[in-house]
Chain A
Amino acid sequence: MKIGVVTFPGSLDDHDAHRAVRVAGGEPVSLWHGDDSLRDVDAVVLPGGFSYGDYLRAGAIARFAPVMSALIPAAQGGLPVLGICNGFQILCESHLLPGAMIQNDHRTFICRDQRLRVENATTAWTSDFAQDDEITIVLKNQDGQYVADRHTLDELEGEGRVAFRYVIEHSVVDGPDAPAAVRYDRFASRNPNGSYRDIAGVTNERGNVVGLMPHPEHAIEEGYGPSLDGLKFFTSVLKSVVNA
């Protein structure tokens, strides 16, 4: 089972994505941004990083890379594609997923272990989860604020296409009785980047294309990352490819 991982100039997490594919039991295949071939892979991961320096807009230049001219029609035809962080931004810029990503509303880079709720466990990349599972993986971004117009957001929610939402840990922060974990966590009572409706990840109509801001590939091995929850993204897609 071959899972391609695209390397753009400025990709950072392609090696971790390779490793995640291998640990899950798949065969990682390197794909290069300048090639217009997908090398007969069964699925593709667009990894995190800062492709083309995030110049113009995050993902805006990567969207026009030669590899994308092969990937976009393949994804429209049902090829499973997972966009992580910068990969999610590229999928939005490519219009494979709706919405866009802008700078975090608090204007700072963020890096933390983040709890998410799985809101759609039927996509190619989430079928090993159960509906409403809560998982903890790494979140690290500068431009992680998911935005879309109200109509698009309503449509996404109505069609069950919000794949992941940030879990808001506490509804009340203020007050002397607030626990230390709340008082010292500036993101205890709000989502960590200002994303509309707490959306952390979305999917397309078919469920083969999934994009999310946090990083499952950093949570696949004991001793590294906050959990092993990320592995299920990769085991999910391997099963979906077998069943396809």
Chain B
Amino acid sequence: MGIVVVDVMLKSEILDPQGQAVAGALPRLGFNQFTDVRQGKRFVLTVEGEVTDQVLAAAREAAETMLSNPVIEDVVSVRAVLNEVGSQATELNKTAEHA
């Protein structure tokens, strides 16, 4: 199984209320060194077989048309990975190891 990871972030000029909430709470735990927090989204897409150029192209198209809204967000990366925590493929590998 192949895995494609898509990362999406709000554009820098768009206010990020979630990031601000996190940034406001960190100092309460003593984390005073972080001057700003921006929160993004990671999509982990699993395919049968290898991640070919066609799969990557399809992932890129999905990222531009649905996974992100170009008015407020940027697709910062679309990449094939060997393993990704939380992916279905990783879970299946683990199951195989235990079997």
Contact = CB atoms under 8 A, between A and B. Distances in A.
A93 B69 contact: yes
B72 interface: yes
Given A56-B66, A64-B66, A105 B17 contact: yes
Contacts of B20: 107
Interface residues of B, number: 13
Contact of B15 (A99, A105, A148): A105
A72 to B, nearest CB: 14
Interface residue tally of chain A, by bracket?
20 to 34
Contacts of A148: 71
Given A107-B20, A107-B21, A100 B69 contact: yes
Interface string A88-116: 00001100001110111111000000000
A194 B69 CA distance: 19
A135 B24 CA distance: 36
B17 A147 contact: no
Given A57-B69, A92-B71, A105-B15, 7 more contacts: A56-B67, A103-B18, A105-B17, A106-B17, A147-B14, A147-B72, A149-B13
